[in-house]
Chain A
Amino acid sequence: MPGIDQVLFRAMGIPGVLGAGLIDWTSGLTLGTAGQAPHGDHDAAAADTADVVQAVTRNATFDTEGTGGPALEDLIITAAGSYHLIRFVHTAFDSQTYLYLWLDRSQANLAVARLRLRDLAAELVAS
């Protein structure tokens, strides 16, 4: 049964990945990191992506009623040379965490990365 470090290690096997992290979005605290971060600063990447996630989670626009599954699945930011992929980790208990992937746009396949990250998020909490 994998822990945070094992899941981040596996995330580093996703094609085109530069770095990965697990972050609490209400505080920007990194619960774990692997690989590189933009500007070499995992903590700054955590705080900045947490800002983005907060903006999405506090708005009811993205959290519509009547759907059975989890409200939010992932966020994708497409930048000049990279993708930033944010995957919400849904737990049975109360938590506010997401997996973050920094991908090299010339190497990565966004569709593959999304599916692999979805599976890793499920592995992290599957009993």
Chain B
Amino acid sequence: MIDFKLPSLGADMDEGVLLEWKVKPGDTVKKGQVVCVVDTAKAAIDVESWQEGTVAELLAQPGDKMPVGTVMMRLLAPGEAATPKVGAGGIEHVPPGAASPRKVGAGGIEHVPPGAASPRKVSAGGTAPLAAERRRISPAAKKRAAELGVDIDQLVGSGPQGAVTLEDVEKAAAQQPATGAQPAADRTREMRQAIAAAMSHSKREIPHYYVSEDIPLARMLAWLEETNAQRPMIDRLLPAAALLKAVARALADYPELNGHYRDGAYQPAKAVHLGVAIALREGGLIAPAILDAQAKPLTKLMQELADLVRRARAGSMRSSELSAATVTVTNLGDQGSHGVFGVITPPQVALVGFGRIAERPWAENGGLKVLPVVTASLSADHRVSDGHRGALFLRSLADWLQQPEELAR
């Protein structure tokens, strides 16, 4: 039996609310399959299972709020036999021969009294997994809850058979604090609290150091312009994708910047899962990861970046994207400032920042010219690396950005 636990979907998450199961008892689960949707302070996340098996039991119910690490479901490992259970939540057994009252007697068909039609039961020896019971919510209650922004999953129904009624919703709405009446406002406040907790933790625990470097981008931008001219609009590459790719490539030689620091020990990561900080329209931010960024061609990286931004803003992320990042990049883009010195997201050990790409005076070989330049910065964990290595990393990043053809691969 394998326990499926609520994973941490980021350093700032310590609990989640199960919104929906995507599997039911008896289903086969493959590695990477989305098994449920969990609401965190930031978004509704599709949570994947990293174990294979058959669903034996769903322990958490939609609406349950639980801490990270709670066992939500039990899986039978491949080959493991089911141990039948009796009772609630278990598997119902039907005694053999109990399937139908219709019997053929010696004299022909016995009279079956009206109303004694065969009860609906699974044939003898079969199993009838209990479907998760649908909550009883009256249509009017559901509609009113949506209008009032009441989370109906949190309500206890007072109607017949425990149905949630209009009155339950209106009572709950009356008890909500005036400021928390809107779910959007709620979400924003929760996210602010989550960011506050994670960042305070980071600044308290992680001895940051900072280095920065101005990187000329004339070659890279010229190459992008040339490449994009041959592509349909929808396939065009943004400078941001090239910056991400360069970071991923450069990190290959600096394992002390790419990994996780947990319980007093550093674990470098093999692949670069690049966390990308994305500002959300309603405020706050989220940093889902582009997995294996070092190995992805630039075109693919660009597609994934676009997809990630779209999904992050729509609030549909996968658990692996939220918990996997080994390093984070923050890019303040076209509208941003000259440079940025960010706060590391624990348990990561480095954060790379880019300011805006702008034309600046550039002195070279005793002359002065005007070039597009970006200020790259590194915030890194001094417990794991030193400023010297950090500076070398930025130098390497600058070098990669001078070789756009190489980056594209």
A binds B: no
Q: Which residues of A contact B (CB under 8 A)?
A: none
